[in-house]
Structure 1
Amino acid sequence: MTTNSAMQAPFYPIIYVRGFAATMSEIDETTADPYMGFNRGSTVIRQDHQRKAIPFIFESPLLRLIKDHQYVDAFQGGGYQEQPAQVQARSIWVFRYYERASNLLGNGERVTMEQFALDLRSFILRVRAATCGDDPVRKAAFKVHLVAHSMGGLVCRCYLQNICQYGAPEGLDSTGLELVQDGPSPHYVDKMFTYGTPHNGIDIMGVNVPDLGPIDRFQISNFDKDRMREYLKISKTSKAVNTLDGAFEPQNCFCFIGSNYKDYDAFFKLSKRVTGPASDGLVMMANAYVEEAPRAVAYRSHSGTFGLVNSESGYQNLRRFLFGSLRITAKLYVDKVDLPPGVQKRFDQGAEVRGSYYFDTVTGVRAGPNYVLNERRYNHASALLRTFAELIDDKKPVYLFTGYLTKEARQASDQALMFMIDFGVRIPLFEINRKFWFDEHFEGFMYQEHITLAIRDKTLRYGLSFNDGIGNAPHIADITEQDGQRQISIDVGTESTAKPGFQGRLVLIVDNWL
């Protein structure tokens, strides 16, 4: 065996599952690429202090995992290393599921999602044989991380929710796949990370894509909700399509979501015209996550030169989700909302007041370069939105983000894990009795703050930029501990006399992550 051979959490084999290819030429092009896009990087221009253009190069998720975490490429000698127990646990594999459908290596016939999922089962067992052989200890510890782009995430869900739960569908071969026919089979998946997966289907101009049946040349019905319910085996019609339905723990599924619809040139070259803002150019943000799963947003398109997969933000979320040691979940509790005086007067008189508040949230870490992990901005059309009625009537917290920290990024000077949050609240243009109200009021941000967190083993400090400067965290937070979680509350909002204004609490929950 090679170095890093132990099958030990969290450094399990990584399997990449690529996304959708529509035409047969795209399928052939996909099959011709050994890594199916996981090896593609990107180069952008940044300015130095003299405004000179300097290239910033992101090498690709494949190379970064090899460089940063000592993973190895499972391709050897023109193919996968197939000899039992000869590949180390820290290995990267590419599930080339389009091979059987291509003209290059297959028969050129379309394949169903159920068959793709069965093929994934077979592939995972191949990875187990190559990394474990017949060693019972290693086989007992065997798990994988699934990393999927777009439709690849639905293939993974079909594997977890259909194949492992119910066995091979009638008419499909399951020979040698160790499936338990009378109950759930082990899925061997530790964590799943999805880039731009349409977990709730694809909508075109607000309408879910149709199931065209036998005339569906491009299999776009894979993103039709009725067809998705079928191949995902959603147990009840009352359940949403984006539920894992008990087949996999939602907290172990991270959803990375794009918000830049302008840079994506998708199939049929129509996507950015028919999806528009609040999408990655193909998948609406509201459709790109699993219920109760952690998620983050980046100003990136679905794929292409500035796509989700070949982004620094995507990689930093991926590595921290797979290998991080701490998890941070942030929620906003809005305690009070004060309207502009004129609007308040009309509201008190019984007028109907409508308007939506935008919550900007940008989060990042300080680890060498400053990496942005989550970016939801008003000017990207990706900010969180809550109506005035929701804020005054519904006291549920606003979920902001989930982020992960790794001890490898501790500051050498004080061993603190540093985390920052840029937070802003933008007041809307109000409507009174369904007519715009223009008096006494400007649209804009009524509150903005930069919060710095310094997390240590026993303490958690914070700082507010207006009082403490950016990057400083002098205040010791009052910590509430329960069930292994540390929770702090930071007061945010305008002065109580500000009209318009708001007061609330940013609640951060920090717990261990493996």
Structure 2
Amino acid sequence: MAMLSAPHYPIIYVRGYAGNDDEIEDTVADPYMGFNLGATKIRQQWTGRVVRHYFESPLVRLMKDFGYRDVYSSGLDVLGADLPPEELVDPRSIVIYRYYDEVSGALGDGRQRRMETFGEGLGALIEKLRERICPTAEEKQSFRVHLVGHSMGGLVIRCFLQNDKVSRPEVKALVDRVFTYATPHDGIEFEIIGNVPGFFTRNSADNFNRERMCDYLGLPEGTEKVNTLAGRFDPDRFFCLVGTNARDYTVASGWSSRVVGPFSDGLVRIDNAHVVGPTGDPQRPTRIAPRAFVHRSHSGHYGIVNSEEGYQNLTRFLFGDVRVDGELHVRAITLPADVQKLKEEGKEVRASYHFECVTAVRGAHWDLSRRVMAENSTVFRKYGELFPEKAGEHDRPLLDRPLLFTTFLNSAARVDKRRRSLGFSVDLGVLVPDYEVAGVLWLKNHYPGGTIFREKINLEAIPTAKEGEPWRLRYGFDSRTPNAATKEAEGIPADGALTFRIPILQQRRPGIDADLVLIARGR
């Protein structure tokens, strides 16, 4: 049996919401509650030939790639079976938290349970897993677990972690990392009626109402944004995968995606699918936990859980050895010559900008994160937000730079096994906005779809030969050195991280003067 060792701790999977009795019975009839579903994705090669991409499922891939196994044996769940003490559970186990068994008419009493009950049960499952894996007190001290939740499963995890009345602090301290797929961390929102009303109690749909969420998340009554971890868990150890494809969500014959709207995965709004944590800095009171955006719907065979993009983000976050945050530090964005002339004549000019960013791993046919205008997921900033010192009366100054992406790299999961370096690319675009001059849209010489800047930047992170020495970084602009990273970027150490600056300069009008800042940390 494998030894318990970081970062390959046991994984507990917490499934999402089952809306009615039939869905609950279908859920409990599946040993893996959907975590075993895969997909066959069709794509076209450069030759024109259509091939299939088989994604076996997260469960199967974790078993094949990282040596995990389930906890079923001869028709029994070994965590619940009466096994002799010497028969231990493998530390690299995947456990399905079957919280809907009690709600099922077939396996339970058919009665709905409160979220607090589900959270309490998760804590009890973690304790039971520790007992089965760690026979000695010394091993129990080093026990940790990863929690993975889909949709409402992420809220069950937060209820366990954040509610002081649920479980015990010493059990919560056993959680190493949390990963959520498409979780409505700030509730579910409809375009017409807003947040799910509190009187939607049938089948516990009020679990997505913010007032009810405040209650089971242990937040102060009246908290407006309920996606805060409130200091109960380190946001750097919490990852949110956000879906951006509403069209492929076919639940309720497509009515769900219609009433939720296009800025969603078909059920959860893009803006509601992440968590924040307090910083202690009054000027920047919160910071967003690591997240990635993928063009996937909320669930199904082509949904966010059963996707290569989801699996790659999951495993790189749980097992990766390098974290890279990409920020855009903008010094100046210039106006078109005719608009600039009007500004100099005293006309008020207003503009906003969309920043597109797609990150991908060298040699892969999938994206780690994808934020593009056509999928409603860009980083949006007004001019006054980018430059607070120049903010007008209509602008809301921000103190944060546009965070384009957070990527985790895993040297053990390199696509190209022949190279020690970790290669990835950043496709960066700054879109030309609609300019408003003296309160009127400026349409002269405006062509929709244009960009101020567009470039794919190839990056290669190179481990040094000597242990303890900082990694090196090469970069290259694809328009100049296609598919290559040739220039060395200087790494500046600070606060346990290396910061690299890559100049972004477009001198024509409109143009941009900025730095792509990469902040790399070991884990």
Partner of 1:173: none
Whether the 8 Å CA contact 1:27–1:102 is kept in 2: the answer is yes
Whether the 8 Å CA contact 1:235–1:245 is kept in 2: the answer is no
Q: Does residue 312 of structure 2 align to residue 326 of structure 1?
A: no
Note closer, same or farther for the CA distance 1:396–1:167 as it changes in structure 2 (3 Å cut). Answer: closer
Rounded to whole Å, the distance in 1 between the matches of 2:510 and 2:195 is 42
Q: Does residue 373 of structure 2 align to residue 378 of structure 1?
A: yes
Q: Does residue 183 of structure 2 align to residue 197 of structure 1?
A: yes
Report the Cα offset of residue 484 of structure 1.
Answer: 2.3
Partner of 1:176: none
Rounded to whole Å, the distance in 2 between the matches of 1:91 and 1:317 is 19
Q: Choose 101-110 or 341-350, whichever is displaced more.
A: 341-350
Partner of 1:437: 442
Report the Cα offset of residue 235 of structure 1.
Answer: 4.1
- Please state whether the residue corresponding to 2:479 is helix, strand or coil: helix
Rounded to whole Å, the distance in 1 between the matches of 2:26 and 2:347 is 60
Partner of 2:498: 486
Residue pairs, 1:257-272, within 5 angstroms: 257-267=242-252, 269-272=254-257
Rounded to whole Å, the distance in 2 between the matches of 1:435 and 1:480 is 45
Q: Does residue 280 of structure 2 align to residue 280 of structure 1?
A: no
Whether the 8 Å CA contact 2:198–2:211 is kept in 1: the answer is no
Partner of 1:462: 475
Rounded to whole Å, the distance in 2 between the matches of 1:42 and 1:311 is 7
- Please state whether the residue corresponding to 1:328 is helix, strand or coil: strand
Note closer, same or farther for the CA distance 1:480–1:146 as it changes in structure 2 (3 Å cut). Answer: same
Partner of 1:60: 57
Note closer, same or farther for the CA distance 1:432–1:218 as it changes in structure 2 (3 Å cut). Answer: farther
Report the Cα offset of residue 395 of structure 1.
Answer: 5.7
Report the Cα offset of residue 207 of structure 1.
Answer: 4.6
- Please state whether the residue corresponding to 1:87 is helix, strand or coil: coil
Rounded to whole Å, the distance in 2 between the matches of 1:87 and 1:102 is 27
Report the Cα offset of residue 343 of structure 1.
Answer: 2.3
Rounded to whole Å, the distance in 2 between the matches of 1:76 and 1:293 is 37
Partner of 2:453: 447
Whether the 8 Å CA contact 2:211–2:222 is kept in 1: the answer is no
Whether the 8 Å CA contact 1:340–1:441 is kept in 2: the answer is no
Q: Does residue 511 of structure 2 align to residue 501 of structure 1?
A: yes
Report the Cα offset of residue 397 of structure 1.
Answer: 0.9
Note closer, same or farther for the CA distance 1:281–1:353 as it changes in structure 2 (3 Å cut). Answer: farther
Partner of 1:416: 421
Report the Cα offset of residue 123 of structure 1.
Answer: 1.3
Report the Cα offset of residue 53 of structure 1.
Answer: 1.8
Rounded to whole Å, the distance in 1 between the matches of 2:203 and 2:402 is 39
Find the partner of 1:402 among 382, 402, 406. Answer: 406
- Please state whether the residue corresponding to 2:310 is helix, strand or coil: helix
Rounded to whole Å, the distance in 1 between the matches of 2:203 and 2:341 is 57
- The residue type paired with residue 97 of structure 2 is F
Note closer, same or farther for the CA distance 1:238–1:273 as it changes in structure 2 (3 Å cut). Answer: closer
Note closer, same or farther for the CA distance 1:95–1:432 as it changes in structure 2 (3 Å cut). Answer: same
Note closer, same or farther for the CA distance 1:359–1:205 as it changes in structure 2 (3 Å cut). Answer: same
Note closer, same or farther for the CA distance 1:184–1:353 as it changes in structure 2 (3 Å cut). Answer: farther
Report the Cα offset of residue 238 of structure 1.
Answer: 5.6
Q: Choose 294-303 or 134-143, whichever is displaced more.
A: 134-143
- Please state whether the residue corresponding to 1:219 is helix, strand or coil: helix
Report the Cα offset of residue 16 of structure 1.
Answer: 0.6
Report the Cα offset of residue 477 of structure 1.
Answer: 0.7
Find the partner of 2:201 among 190, 193, 216. Answer: 216
Q: Does residue 358 of structure 2 align to residue 362 of structure 1?
A: yes
Rounded to whole Å, the distance in 1 between the matches of 2:497 and 2:224 is 30
Report the Cα offset of residue 9 of structure 1.
Answer: 0.8
Partner of 1:255: 240
Partner of 1:172: none
Report the Cα offset of residue 113 of structure 1.
Answer: 0.5
- Please state whether the residue corresponding to 2:214 is helix, strand or coil: helix
Partner of 1:109: 111
Rounded to whole Å, the distance in 2 between the matches of 1:395 and 1:352 is 23
Report the Cα offset of residue 51 of structure 1.
Answer: 1.6
Rounded to whole Å, the distance in 2 between the matches of 1:98 and 1:76 is 21
Note closer, same or farther for the CA distance 1:186–1:194 as it changes in structure 2 (3 Å cut). Answer: closer
Q: Choose 198-207 or 398-407, whichever is displaced more.
A: 198-207
List per-residue Cα deviations over 1:170-211 (Å, max 9, x = no partner): xxxxxxxxx55xx77544110000000011111100654344
Note closer, same or farther for the CA distance 1:186–1:398 as it changes in structure 2 (3 Å cut). Answer: same
Report the Cα offset of residue 462 of structure 1.
Answer: 1.0
Whether the 8 Å CA contact 1:491–1:504 is kept in 2: the answer is yes
Whether the 8 Å CA contact 2:214–2:221 is kept in 1: the answer is no
TM-score by length of 2: 0.89
Rounded to whole Å, the distance in 2 between the matches of 1:95 and 1:68 is 22
Rounded to whole Å, the distance in 2 between the matches of 1:26 and 1:12 is 31
Rounded to whole Å, the distance in 2 between the matches of 1:477 and 1:275 is 44
- Please state whether the residue corresponding to 1:286 is helix, strand or coil: helix
Rounded to whole Å, the distance in 2 between the matches of 1:300 and 1:412 is 28
Partner of 2:430: 425
Rounded to whole Å, the distance in 1 between the matches of 2:53 and 2:313 is 19
Q: Does residue 25 of structure 2 align to residue 28 of structure 1?
A: yes
Whether the 8 Å CA contact 1:208–1:225 is kept in 2: the answer is no
Partner of 1:175: none
Rounded to whole Å, the distance in 2 between the matches of 1:397 and 1:111 is 43
Whether the 8 Å CA contact 2:161–2:172 is kept in 1: the answer is no
- The residue type paired with residue 175 of structure 2 is V
TM-score by length of 1: 0.91
Rounded to whole Å, the distance in 2 between the matches of 1:239 and 1:7 is 41
- The residue type paired with residue 469 of structure 1 is P
Note closer, same or farther for the CA distance 1:494–1:399 as it changes in structure 2 (3 Å cut). Answer: same
Partner of 2:282: none
Whether the 8 Å CA contact 1:242–1:290 is kept in 2: the answer is yes
Whether the 8 Å CA contact 1:39–1:61 is kept in 2: the answer is yes
Note closer, same or farther for the CA distance 1:268–1:119 as it changes in structure 2 (3 Å cut). Answer: farther
Equivalenced residue count is 489
Rounded to whole Å, the distance in 2 between the matches of 1:278 and 1:506 is 27
- The residue type paired with residue 289 of structure 2 is A
Find the partner of 1:299 among 295, 301, 315. Answer: 295
- Please state whether the residue corresponding to 1:72 is helix, strand or coil: coil
Rounded to whole Å, the distance in 1 between the matches of 2:265 and 2:348 is 34
Q: Choose 332-341 or 144-153, whichever is displaced more.
A: 332-341
Whether the 8 Å CA contact 2:180–2:241 is kept in 1: the answer is yes
Partner of 2:336: 340
Rounded to whole Å, the distance in 2 between the matches of 1:344 and 1:233 is 52
Q: What runs of 5+ residues in structure 2 fail to find an aligned partner?
A: 277-287, 389-397, 464-470
Query: RMSD over aligned Cα, in angstroms?
Result: 1.9
- Please state whether the residue corresponding to 2:480 is helix, strand or coil: helix
Q: Choose 443-452 or 393-402, whichever is displaced more.
A: 393-402
Report the Cα offset of residue 396 of structure 1.
Answer: 2.9
Report the Cα offset of residue 55 of structure 1.
Answer: 1.2
Q: Does residue 93 of structure 2 align to residue 87 of structure 1?
A: no
Partner of 2:165: 167
Rounded to whole Å, the distance in 2 between the matches of 1:433 and 1:96 is 60
Identity score, percent: 41
- Please state whether the residue corresponding to 2:387 is helix, strand or coil: helix
Q: What runs of 5+ residues in structure 1 fail to find an aligned partner?
A: 169-178
Rounded to whole Å, the distance in 2 between the matches of 1:340 and 1:256 is 37
List per-residue Cα deviations over 1:208-233 (Å, max 9, x = no partner): 434444x6213221111111111101
Partner of 2:395: none
Report the Cα offset of residue 350 of structure 1.
Answer: 4.1
